[in-house]
Amino acid sequence: MKEIVCKLLVIGAGPGGYICAIRAGQLGVDTVIVEAVKAGGTCLNIGCIPSKALIHAAEEFEKVSHMAGNGGPLGITVETPKLDLAKTIAWKDGIVGRLNSGVLGLLRKAKVKIVHGRAQFRDGKTVEVETETGTQVIRAETVVIATGSEPVELPFLPFGGPVISSTDALSLKTVPQKLVVVGGGYIGLELGTAFAKMGAQVTVVEATPQILPQYDAELVKPVAKRLADLGIRVLTGARAKGLSGNALLIETAEGTEEQLEADKILVTVGRKPRTEGWGLDELDLDRAGKFLRIDDRCRTSMRGIHAIGDITGEPMLAHRAMAQGEMVAEIVAGRKRTWDKRCIPAVCFTDPEIVTAGLSPDEARAQGYDVRVGQFPFNANGRAMTMLSEDGFVRIVARADSNLVLGIQAVGAGVSELSSAFALAIEMGARLEDVAATIHAHPTRSEGFQEAALKALGHALHI
């Protein structure tokens, strides 16, 4: 097979990789992208997109289920609904297929050459790709490593049989009667909540004292309340120990052993960078723990090699990878760029949703700031009342001396759609007065953002 020579080689067509390749192609850079599985990576194919589809289907099923019988406060009554999970999964797969085809189309439009297969480094400028038609050699001036991450497997609970990963959970054709989720982080709670709404009896086992340990207790409280309302059993301070027949053996917070019967055991204890299987040992790249070390231009310790996305560390978020990919493409094209983001918003698609941008009150104080904090509850918001979803709040954190906004957090139904407004306020250097003086449409949940700023200034209008 003829050797390919290019200016830019991108390894991995996940959100970071395909954005990098598309932008480079738009700028006239001769670009090749290599992908071992499907364009779109984990996020599009087996992560963000399919999980949100399943979450939405579960929410719709639960809404209809509540209408059966007395119809609830809205006065709508329906017959007892049924769920065909296989059909739901087929619908989800259709969405994934459309987006996958869309990514491939965008790459072709940008004149990016796509090579399907697994890449293996020969050296810092050369890779071999095992394709369906044989070995393809690619030489490039610049290489971008965007190989992503994969689920962490527990040695005493290897994937297989009843033990499943998040990938497996998104392909189940029937709802398990009893589901045990090992790991109470965002992936475990998102999927556990969805299956509970679809009729599964769910138990969550979390080793730390709190579910969603990356968030402060105030944000987690409405989520914990909703889990209890759904009948989900949550065991904090508990550790999984292994299988015992058809049950998961755990050690509780009290130090006693308990067996949890389960049809499926979903292990969601985190993700790790995908650093094995493509010849990384052939390169002399500095590490930051298990991740590749990069600078503010996503350059690794070897000249001509960049790295973006999950392989470079936390936060392991698709939109971070996308922003890195776009930046690196412009650097390769000769433009002056550097990583100067003030915040990266994060969303947890639990019920209710959680959004964080910038610093929490505790984080701001830990950095030495004297802060003002304003919080507005959704039970004082007209739109939340009309949607029967009053749990949660918006919280804003600002410097006490200048009112510069340092962080914004929210928990509530649909608050993920406020994440861009939160991030924009921080990126633009907004002060409390800017947010408070901006007219927010009525009636919307976004009014909670304005009211939180007013509260921090000492004159909230609706509480």
| Cα-to-chain-centroid distance, residue 286 | 26
- Backbone φ, ψ for residue 217 (5° rounding): -60, -35
CA distance 21 to 27: 10
Find tokens 């709670």 and name the residue: 189
Q: In angstroms, how far is the first alpha carbon of the chain from the final one? A: 71
Provide DSSP, 62-91: HHHHHHBSS-GGGT--BPPP---HHHHHHH
Report how far residue 374's alpha carbon sits from residue 398's, in angstroms, rounded to the nearest whole number. 9
Rounded Cα distance between 74 and 83, Å, is: 23
Q: State the DSSP code for 111.
A: T
Cα 95 to Cα 18, 101, 231, 313: the distances in Å are: 18, 10, 30, 29
Kindly write down the DSSP assignment for every residue of 156-187, as one continuous string. Answer: TB-SBTTEE-HHHHTT-SS--SEEEEE--SHH
Catalytic residue among 56, 306, 442, 462: 442
Instruction: For residues 294 and 111, give the distance between their C-alpha atoms in angstroms, rounded to a whole number.
Output: 28
**Residue 55: closest CA among 222, 178, 170, 184:** 170
The 3-class secondary structure across 279-302, one letter per residue, is CHHHCCCCEECCEECCCCCCECCC
Encoded tokens for 181: 């989720």
Backbone dihedral angles phi then psi of residue 345, each to the nearest 5 degrees: -65, 145
DSSP per position, 213-232: TTS-HHHHHHHHHHHHHTT-
CA torsion sign for 381, 383, 385, 390 is negative
Tokens of 61: 């099923």
Active site residue 442: yes
Contact 393/384 with Cβ under 8 angstroms? no
Q: Which residues are catalytic?
A: 442
